[in-house]
Amino acid sequence: MARVLDTDMADLHRQILDGEQEAPARFSRIGRAYARWLKNSEKQANMLERQRRRAGGVVPVRKENPFGAIKPRGFTGRNSGYAAVQSGPPEWQTTTNLGCGFNPNVVGAAAPVVGTPLGRHVTTGAEVACDPLAWFREGIIANPSCFVLSLPGLGKSTLIRKMLMGGVASGHIPIMAGDIKAEYVGFTQQVGGQVIKIGHGYGHLNPLDVGALGRVIPLLEQHSDEPGVADVIQKAKEQVHGRQVTMVSTLVSLGRGGPIRDYESMLIAAALREIYDSESIDWLNPPILQDLIARLEQGSETLHSLGRARTTEQWNARIDALVLSLNSLLDGQTGRIFAGQTTTPIEVNSPAVCIDVSAVDRGDSAMKAAVMMACWSSAFGAIEAAHMLADAGLGPQRYFSVTLDEMWQVLSSAPGMVGQIDALTRLNRTDATALQMITHTFKDLEALPTEEDRKTAMGFIERAGMVICGGLPASELDILSHQLEFSPAEAQMIISWSKGAPPKRARTRGSRATPPGRGRFMIKPSKDGSPGIPVKTELFKSEIEHRLHDTNARFENFFAEGEVA
């Protein structure tokens, strides 16, 4: 009888849900039986659900109905419907280091205010300050260097100039040895630094110039009686001599398009030593190429002996090719840039130094290579001179910051430049020098002329203390994933910064569309997968007034014509 009653109650329940029959009165005989049937059915359903959840390892909550237990149509009739405890969505607990890629936690890294103020955190709006030397002092990075990658026009140079400006305020000396696009001239002038312009018609650059390193030797000789100073003087003389021989040999190799012979370098070194033994040449009045050529043509018993020339005819045959190559440096592919004393030598005490080579013809590879080599030789000589004065107790310990903007042009400008930069990335802590390397994409390093240079340049990112990424395409992030780890949220943010502005005309006079990624960068202080710091650079009023970061100055009239139209 009970089974028949259950069947009848199930049919009654179905009819009530379908609206074919009204629910029985609550206190009637059928109504009480229907209520008991509903209660028993609910208990049985809940018991089965708890058994299922226990089998899955989940402890149920009392009076809990899981998602889906309530029918979409609900219950009909008088006093129907009820409220019950519903289980919430799944929850996980993790650290900010590992959980930064989960939405909405895009980036979990803190925003330290250490160093030069750059701007604000993209997601939190907190102030962000950063520069390699300040972060190195605080122990945030192990090497005072940074590698910056971003597509053109998104503010790489602006970011670096802001860092350098903070460095000048801290007493550091920025050196831009070979400013290819004259992007740091305004900044250098603003901080009262020294701008040296090199090119056809802009003075001379002496390959045999002793540089700042040679010019401190007379000062050191005045204190030669003090302990240790004599050794410093001898070291400085040998370094100056080595730089002179290397510089002349490199220029000859560039002009010939091939390596200089070993005995020719030996003869150059011996001739320079004889020149310095004469009375007319000293450290404040260095020799020039004409003096070296005259000494080789004149010859001496020592030079003849080293060159294995027993007669004048043999000596002339030995030096003919070398003298011809040296003469070509006085007036040839490089013009008359190397024909005379250096017009503007580097001043060690200057707040900043910028060697502007924008006047050099970009299509003249030989000219550009020769000038870049001379610029870097002078810059490294100035750094070594400051350190020698500090070692001898004759000057304060100075800290330098070397910037390689348009790095792809610097590395490919001359043979041996990759090796020099590679040595700087390994020894910059020893030289008390911060290093900023800037290029557009990682593929620029893969375009270097030789396989050896390409393999060497690939290690620059690995040895950099921090990597700063602006807007980059997805293909570039795929290549960088071998050196850096990006969370999905970070990768999506960097890719979104590489997109252009919406293609619509600005409605406000004087306003132009701005790419969404301009001034936005992701700072990665480590390469172990730790979260990065997204920052939006902000310009101060003085930076805007003096147009320190305006690289579109030549388009000013063009933009004005668009406003009139």
Question: Number of structural domains, the chain?
Answer: 3
pLDDT category, 201, cuts 50, 70, 90? confident
Distance between CA atoms of 257 and 236, rounded to whole angstroms? 31
pLDDT given at position 155: 86
Whether 15 and 64 share a structural domain? yes
Greater pLDDT, 562 or 214: 214
Q: How far is CA 431 from CA 118, 352, 387, 434, 437, in A?
A: 26, 17, 8, 9, 17
On the CB side of 356, CA atoms within 13 Å amount to 21
**Contact between residue 369 and residue 247 where contact means Cβ atoms under 8 Å apart:** no
pLDDT category, 98, cuts 50, 70, 90? low
Helix, strand, coil percent content, the chain, rounded in steps of 5 = 45, 10, 45
Average pLDDT (294-316) is 91
Biggest distance spanned by C-alpha atoms of the chain = 139
pLDDT given at position 68: 40
pLDDT tens for each residue of 46-65:
776 666 666 555 555 555 54
On the CB side of 366, CA atoms within 13 Å amount to 15
pLDDT category, 553, cuts 50, 70, 90? low
28 has a pLDDT exceeding 70: yes
Q: H/E element holding 400?
A: strand 400-404
271 has a pLDDT exceeding 90: yes
- How many other CB atoms sit within 10 Å of the CB of residue 411? 27
212-226, 449-463, 496-510 — which is least confidently predicted?
A: 496-510
85 has a pLDDT exceeding 60: no
Whether 475 and 330 share a structural domain? no
Q: Is 266 exposed, middle or buried (0-12, 13-18, 19+ CB in 10 A)?
A: middle
502 has a pLDDT exceeding 60: yes
Greater pLDDT, 414 or 208: 208
Distance between CA atoms of 169 and 149, rounded to whole angstroms? 26
Distance between CA atoms of 98 and 92, rounded to whole angstroms? 12
Whether 62 and 143 share a structural domain? no
CA 563, distance to chain mean position in Å, is: 35
Distance between CA atoms of 148 and 470, rounded to whole angstroms? 8
pLDDT given at position 3: 45
- How many other CB atoms sit within 10 Å of the CB of residue 543? 18
pLDDT given at position 70: 45
pLDDT given at position 54: 61
pLDDT given at position 173: 92
Q: What's the pTM value of the predicted model, to 2 decimals?
A: 0.70
**Contact between residue 535 and residue 120 where contact means Cβ atoms under 8 Å apart:** yes
DSSP 222: T
Percent of the chain with pLDDT over 70: 79
194-203, 211-220, 349-358, 499-508 — which is least confidently predicted?
A: 499-508
pLDDT given at position 63: 52
pLDDT given at position 4: 42
pLDDT given at position 1: 39
Whether 389 and 405 share a structural domain? no
User: Is 99 part of a structural domain of the chain?
Assistant: no
Whether 388 and 530 share a structural domain? no
Q: Give 374's contacts (C-beta < 8 A, 6+ positions apart).
A: 205, 207, 247, 338
User: CA-based angle 286:291:296, to the nearest 5?
Assistant: 130
Average pLDDT (331-345) is 81
Whether 150 and 77 share a structural domain? no
pLDDT given at position 234: 87
Please identify, among 86, 112, 147, the residue that sits at the C-terminal boundary of a domain: 86
Average pLDDT (271-295) is 84
CA 430, distance to chain mean position in Å, is: 20
527 has a pLDDT exceeding 80: no
Whether 301 and 388 share a structural domain? yes
User: Is 303 part of a structural domain of the chain?
Assistant: yes
278 has a pLDDT exceeding 90: no
User: Is 269 part of a structural domain of the chain?
Assistant: yes
Whether 209 and 225 share a structural domain? yes
User: Is 257 part of a structural domain of the chain?
Assistant: yes
User: Is 308 part of a structural domain of the chain?
Assistant: yes
pLDDT category, 8, cuts 50, 70, 90? confident
32-46, 93-107, 399-413, 515-529 — which is least confidently predicted?
A: 93-107
Whether 472 and 535 share a structural domain? yes
Whether 72 and 16 share a structural domain? yes
Amino acid at site 562: G
Whether 561 and 453 share a structural domain? yes
pLDDT category, 304, cuts 50, 70, 90? very high
pLDDT given at position 102: 55
User: Is 381 part of a structural domain of the chain?
Assistant: yes
Average pLDDT (487-512) is 73
Range of the domain at 403: 123-172+399-506+526-565
The CATH code of the domain that includes 133 is 3.40.50
Distance between CA atoms of 21 and 13, rounded to whole angstroms? 9
Average pLDDT (336-355) is 86
Whether 346 and 235 share a structural domain? yes
pLDDT tens for each residue of 427-464:
677 788 888 888 887 777 777 777 777 778 778 888 88
User: Is 101 part of a structural domain of the chain?
Assistant: no
- How many other CB atoms sit within 10 Å of the CB of residue 395? 17
Distance between CA atoms of 133 and 401, rounded to whole angstroms? 9
121 has a pLDDT exceeding 70: yes
Residue 308 Rama label (left phi>0; alpha psi -120 to 50; beta): left
Distance between CA atoms of 520 and 498, rounded to whole angstroms? 10
Phi, psi (rounded to 5 degrees) for 468 = -120, 120
70-79, 327-336, 352-361, 445-454 — which is least confidently predicted?
A: 70-79
Please, what's the b/e burial string for 319-334 (b: 16 or more CB within 10 A of its CB; e: otherwise)?
beebeebbeebbeeeb
pLDDT tens for each residue of 159-181:
999 999 999 998 999 999 888 88
Please identify, among 38, 71, 86, the residue that sits at the C-terminal boundary of a domain: 86
**Contact between residue 515 and residue 153 where contact means Cβ atoms under 8 Å apart:** yes
pLDDT category, 66, cuts 50, 70, 90? very low
Q: Give 475's contacts (C-beta < 8 A, 6+ positions apart).
A: none
User: Is 513 part of a structural domain of the chain?
Assistant: no
